[in-house]
A = this chain, B = another copy of it.
Amino acid sequence: MDYSLLWLDWKPKEVLPAYTKCITGMPATRQGKAALRELVSGLQAMGAEPEVRCGQASSVPSIHLKEYLGKDDKVTLRRSGDGMELAGSGTSLLYGVFHLLRHLAMGEEFPQWESAPAYPIRMLDHWDNADGSIERGYAGLSFFFRDGKPVCTERTRDYARLLASCGLNGCCINNVNVHGNALKLLTGSYKRELKRIALCLAEYGVSLWLCVSFSAPMELGGLDTADPLDGEVKRWWKETCLHLFTAIPNLAGFLIKADSEGRPGPHTYGRTQAEGANMLADAVSPFGGKILWRCFVYNCTQDWRDTKTDRARAQCDHFAPLDGQFRDNVYLQIKNGPVDFQIREPVSPLLGRLEHTASLLEFQIAQEYTGQQRHVCYLIPMFREILDFRFHSRPERDRTADRISAVCAVSNTGNDYNWTGHDLAAANLFGFGLISWDPAADPAEIAREWSILTFGDDPAVTETVTGILLPSREVYEKYSSPLGIGWMCVPETHYGPSPEGFEFDRWGTYIRANHREIGVERGPEGTGFTEQYSPELAAMYRGVASCPEELLLFFHRLPYDYRMKDGRTLLQRIYDDHFEGYEEAAAMSEAWDKLADKLEPEVFRRVQERFREQLRCAAEWRDVVNTWLYRLTMIPDEKGRRIYP
């Protein structure tokens, strides 16, 4: 096998509870049967030899699988005599089994559990291209596509197992930028292989989603328009969906990136985003299909001279006025921040504005701007912050977690042996699953669980790994773009520093630093972005003193000698952060080095190599950002540390 099983590589346990000796119950669904299989093989891997007594009660302590019919996601693990009962629908049994196995692997006494996922859609978005490459992919090539075609392999099944084991239930397998052969996924060409993938995923309760091109009626149907109000266009989509949904079981719907970064969309025809989305929603609706409509719509040919247009405003400006105009089976897919997956952004104000429209929160575990799976950057604490964020626009159920109806993450997987390039990046995959199920999950506990499942239960290893993971986002932030300003990375690659790389480009991502000041003013005197929030939040962000310091340069243009709350100047804070960030990364790397004897040599070595690259790059970030600011301001570091004049 040319890949690892990540956290599903169950390790032998010395002591197992008595009830692991016997399994009773006879699940009828394919998912229920998969649950039984996983339970048996999982327990066997841990050293138990469970007797399976299908359907019969047992006189010895046992695990009884009780399958309900229906689509209810609720799962219950509870004591039943000397044993346990695990009850739920087919897919819920799977969740229950994996929960049980994980907790047995952790050596916990009795994993009593009664739970249901917070959202009905918890999915991964893959940016895999038909040619096998992955846009912003940092873990090898695609395992969904090869040579222009979808492929279903043994890995597809293990992928589905990994998803189910952390509570995920969907994946969109192709890139939102649909090009090349990926266009043809909509039509007959690859139906057989797609069906195999869909069935393989279905066994683990994972739905298949596809990205489609809004102009498919032209590209594939030979029409001369893709106008969503055109009768021919509607008919084409309806017919195409009839064929596709009939041929492919377990197809949940489409994800669409429209009118953004050169993608076609309803704006081309003077139609609103709602008119575009609803037309597709009507086409998939007879099959119970859903439309995930990305809100990543902005002017991507901006003129840097123009200081009025603010890319951060675009989502609200485009979508807030349309609230309530979307069909029930449309979900607006909204990135967590108003710009694009920077290491620190405020929560997207659009998430607080939709009252009559379903929204899907989009995270990115691919680390496009956060170290590209070469730097450790455990993102779950950030996700938790975002989910916990209060908008102050409703009296209750006002947090992001309450407001959204679904959640997804741009995936960090590829066909690398370890799936995620950096072994430690798998914590983001696992953690995203757990926090999607329960947005109140504790990131520290997730890290601890992931570490034990992955590396075993040596407390020294667990302590070191969690000690690396938990602060890693702040460490990355410290040595990269400061205080929410973002966009100091190399334009083409989005990796490594280039403070003015985007400054005169067309992407609307400006820093506007001069000798005296830095940043874009987003208060009412500036672009007015702050006013997209509720009055309470707007007041907080508007005020320089009340604005959270970690977001100061996202919201405000400030002089370098601005005094931070602790008395340091803004510039000194940036210098300090960059020196400290590197030192902290170095300490993480040293901590890892001490695990040499405690881990598989290959795993140890792979991560060690990544740390070497992280340190090289962190030094580059530190020196480039500090040097650039020093040259601009000519204000030396108060502590006299090395900056290159």
**A binding-site residues for B, Cβ under 8 Å:** 304-305, 492, 497-501, 503-504, 512-516, 620, 623-624, 627-628, 630-634, 644-645
Closest Cβ neighbor of A492 among chain B residues: B492
Contact A305 B623, beta carbon cutoff 8 Å = yes
Complex Cα spacing A634 to B645, Å:
19
Top 5 closest pairs, chain A to chain B, by CB: A514-B631, A504-B624, A515-B634, A305-B644, A500-B500
Nearest B residue (CB) for A635: B515
One of B501, B504, B513, B630 near A497 (C-beta < 8 A)? B504
Picked from B501, B628, B630, B644, the residue with its CB within 8 Å of the CB of A501 is B501
* Set of chain B residues within 8 Å of A631, measured between Cβ atoms: 512-515, 632
**Residues of B close to A503: CB separation below 8 A:** 628
How distant is the Cα of A513 from the Cα of B515 in the complex, in angstroms? 12
A498–B498 Cα distance when bound, in Å, is 11
Q: Which residues of B contact A634 (CB under 8 A)?
A: 514-516
Q: How far is the CA of A385 from the CA of B501 in the complex (A)?
A: 35
Min Cβ gap A492→B in Å is: 6
Instruction: Determine if A498 and B504 form an interchain contact, defined as CB atoms under 8 angstroms apart.
Output: yes
- Closest-CB distance, A173 to chain B (whole angstroms): 30
Given A304-B644, A504-B620, 16 extra CB contacts under 8 A: A305-B644, A497-B504, A498-B501, A498-B504, A499-B500, A500-B500, A504-B627, A512-B631, A513-B631, A514-B631, A514-B632, A514-B634, A514-B645, A515-B631, A515-B632, A515-B634
Identify the closest chain B residue to A305 (Cβ). B644
A516–B630 CA distance with the chains assembled, in angstroms: 11
A516 neighbours in B (Cβ, 8 Å): 634
What B residues does A512 contact at CB under 8 A? 631
- A625 CB, nearest partner CB in chain B, Å: 10
Q: What B residues does A630 contact at CB under 8 A?
A: 514
Q: How far is the CA of A515 from the CA of B501 in the complex (A)?
A: 19
How far is it, in angstroms, between the C-alpha of A514 and the C-alpha of B634 when the chains are bound? Answer: 8
| Bound complex: CA A627 to CA B306 (Å) | 13
A624 to B503, CA, bound (A): 9
CA distance A627 to B501 in the complex (A): 15
Q: List 29 A-B contacts (CB under 8 A).
A: A304-B644, A305-B644, A492-B492, A497-B504, A498-B500, A498-B501, A498-B504, A499-B500, A500-B628, A501-B501, A503-B628, A504-B620, A504-B624, A504-B627, A504-B628, A512-B631, A513-B631, A514-B630, A514-B631, A514-B632, A514-B634, A514-B645, A515-B515, A515-B632, A515-B633, A515-B634, A516-B634, A631-B632, A632-B632
The CA of A498 and the CA of B506, in the complex, are separated in Å by 12
CA distance A508 to B492 in the complex (A): 20
Interface centre among A500, A620, A630, A633 (most CB of B within 10 A): A500
Nearest-neighbour CB distance to chain B for A235, whole angstroms, equals 40
Residues of B contacting A515 in the complex (Cβ-Cβ under 8 angstroms) = 515, 631-634
Q: Which residue of B lies closest to A306 (CB)?
A: B644
**Minimum CB–CB distance for A479 against chain B, Å:** 14
Interfacial chain B residues near A501, Cβ < 8 Å = 498, 501
Rounded to whole angstroms, the CA-CA distance of A354 and B620 in the bound complex is 40
Chain B proximity of A627: nearest CB distance (Å): 8
What separation, in Å, do the CA atoms of A420 and B423 have in the docked complex? Answer: 51
Give the complex CA separation of A627 and B623 in angstroms. 24
Chain B residues within an 8 Å CB radius of A632: 514-515, 631-632
What is the CA–CA distance of A501 and B504 in the complex, to the nearest angstrom? 11
Given the complex of chains A and B, what is the CA–CA distance between A501 and B500 in angstroms? 7
How many Å lie between the Cα of A631 and that of B510 in the bound state? 13
What residues on B are CB-neighbors of A498 within 8 Å? 500-501, 504
Q: Complex formed: what's the CA distance from A304 to B620 in Å?
A: 10
A399 CB, min distance to chain B CBs, angstroms: 40
Q: How far is the CB of A306 from chain B (nearest CB, A)?
A: 9
A547 to B514 Cα, complex, angstroms? 31
**How far is A514 from B628 in the complex, measured between Cα atoms in Å?**
8
Q: Name the CB-closest residue of B to A620.
A: B504
